[in-house]
Amino acid sequence: MLKQLVLPLFICLLAASQASFAKPDNLADKQVLRRGNGSEVQTLDPHKAEGVPASNILRDLYEGLTIEAPDGKVIPGAAESWEISEDGKVYLFHIRKNARWSNGDPVTAGDFVYGLRRSVDPATGSQYSQILAPILNAEDIIAGDKPVEQLGVEAIDDKTLRITLKASTPYLLGLLNHSTTYPVHKGSVEEHGDQFSRPGKLISNGAYVLKEWKVQSQITVERNPMYWDNDKTIIEKVIFLPIEESSAELKRYRAGELDISGGIPANQYGWIMKNLPGELHVAPTLGTYYYGFNLTRPPFKDNLKLRQALSMAVDREILTEKITKAGEIPAFGWVPPGVNNYNSQQLDYADMPKAERIKKAQQLYQEAGYSKGNPLTLEIRYNTSENHKKIAIAISAMWKKNLGIRTKLINEEWKVFLENRKQKKLTQAFRGGWIGDYNDAFTFAELMQSAHGINDSGYNNPQYDKLLQQAANESDLEKRRGIMQAAERMLLQDHTIMPLYFYVTKHLIKPYVKGYQPNILDHTYSKNLWITKH
C-alpha cells in the first residue's frame, strides 16, 4: 500500500506561490551574477564530478527529483509529487508534465532510470557511486556482480518512476538532489561520449544551460528557456570564477568583479568585519575540516600509536581562535553537530587538559618508534589555498614543538591533489574537508566505508563496514542512531583521520544581490537570486 508523502497543505502552499509570483521591484536591467567558485572543476559530468566547486555549477545546470528551497528544506524538483510504501522501501515519483530538456525534449522517468543506472555502472568510473547504496542491488552492481538492469529503478510509464530500496532510508529525499542521481540526456551521451558535458554539447534539465568554459578563467551558464519554472528565474547569466587564493578573491570582490565570494581569507576577517560587516554572511554548516592519514603505506600503516600521537599534539583551539577566526568549532569528532537524529561522538581525550594531552602524545610517539633523536620526517599535502597553507604551517609547528617531527609542505593544484589522494601512492598526511551531501550522519560515515570511491585514507575495517550495513538496513530510527554512533566511535578510536574543526560558511555578498538565505548545507541555487539597481 502506498501512502501520500507530499502533504495536501504543502501542495496548496506550492500552488499558491506559483499563482501569486510577481517579480521583485527595482530590478537591475542587467541580471548577470558573478560567483567565486574556488578551484577549477575537473568535470561537469554529474556522475563523475567531485567537490564543492563542481556541485555549485551542477545545481544550476541539472535538476534532480527533489531540490532545496533557499532555507535548505527539501521540496519537489523534476518530480512534482511522490508516494512512499508503508514499509518505506518503495517510492513512486510523478515527473512534471512540463519538465523539459534544454533542447525541448520531454524529461521522462526513463531519463532518471538511464541516469541512475549510468551512475552505478562500473564502466562509468564514478567515485561517488557508493552514495546510491540504499537502492536495491546498487552495491552488487557497483562491485560488478550484477548487471545495471537489476538496479531497483523502473519507469512505470513516461511520467512515473518507481525506486525500490533495500531498506527504509530516512534521508532518501535529501539524497535525490545530489548530482549522482541526476538524469542525463541519453541521446547526447550516446552521440558525444565523454565529451557530452562540454559547451555546445551539454543538454541539461535545470534552470541554466552551459554556454562557455574557459579553463582557469570562467564557466558561464545562461538561463534555460525550456526549464519548467523558467518564468520565476530572474538571473539571466551566471559566471563562475575559479579563484583558489582567497586573498585574490577578496581583491576582485572589492574591485567589483565578483558579486558572491566562495570564502574569505582568514587573516582578513577582522578587516572585513570592520569595513564590510553588512556584506559578510557567516552561518553553521554540516562540514568537517580534517587531515587524513594514508593507511596503505608507511609511516601510518599499522601504526595506530603514531596517528594518535599526531592528533593529540595538535591544539585545535589555536587553529580556530588564531587562524580561521570566524566561529569555527574545534573538532574532536567526525560528524558535526546539528545532524538530524544524531548525537555527535568525540575522541576520548577531548576534555583532557592540554599539558596532559601533549605528555601522552610524546609517550605514544616514542612507543611508535620515534623520538627527538630519531624524528619522523613527514609530508603534509594540501590543495592550493592560502588558508590551507596557514593551517599546514601551524600544524607543522605544533608537531615540531611537541614531538620533534620534521615536515615538508607540498602544495598541489586541485585536480592533481585529488588524483594523488585517490591513488594513495604518494600521500602521507593530507588536507581534507567534507561537506555533508544531505542532513544525515550516513553522509559522513559512508565516506570511510572500505569500498567507497573517495575513501582516500584507505580505511578498511570489516567491523566498521558491518556497522554501516546494519545501519543501512535498520528502519527503527533510535536503533539506527545507536549503530551510527558506535561506528563513529570505532572510526575515531582507529584514528583514521585527524578532525580539526567544524566548518562555518563565510561568503561576501554584494548588498544588491537579493534572495540569499544561509542554510545548513550551504546550497545556493542561482535561480533563487536577483540583482537590484545599484
SS3 content of the chain, % helix, strand, coil (to 5): 35, 20, 45
Give the Cα-Cα-Cα angle 172, 174, 175 (nearest 5 degrees): 60
Quote the pLDDT of residue 267.
86
Average pLDDT value for residue range 246-260: 96
Quote the pLDDT of residue 338.
87
Secondary element (H or E) of residue 358: helix 354-367
Adjacency order of strands within the sheet including 406-412: 329-330, 497-508, 280-293, 429-435, 377-383, 406-412
**Percent of the chain surpassing pLDDT 70:** 96
**Percent of the chain surpassing pLDDT 90:** 88
Quote the pLDDT of residue 8.
32
Quote the pLDDT of residue 21.
67
| Alpha helix (H) residue ranges in 97-185 | 109-120, 138-142, 172-175
Residue for grid cell 561522538 = 345
What is the rounded average pLDDT for all residues in the chain? 93
Classify residue 215 by its DSSP letter.
Answer: T
pTM (predicted TM-score): 0.85
Please write the tens of the pLDDT for every residue from 61-71: 999 999 999 99
Please write the tens of the pLDDT for every residue from 316-358: 999 999 999 888 999 999 999 989 899 999 999 999 999 999 9
How far is 340 from 336, CA to CA, in rounded Å?
A: 11
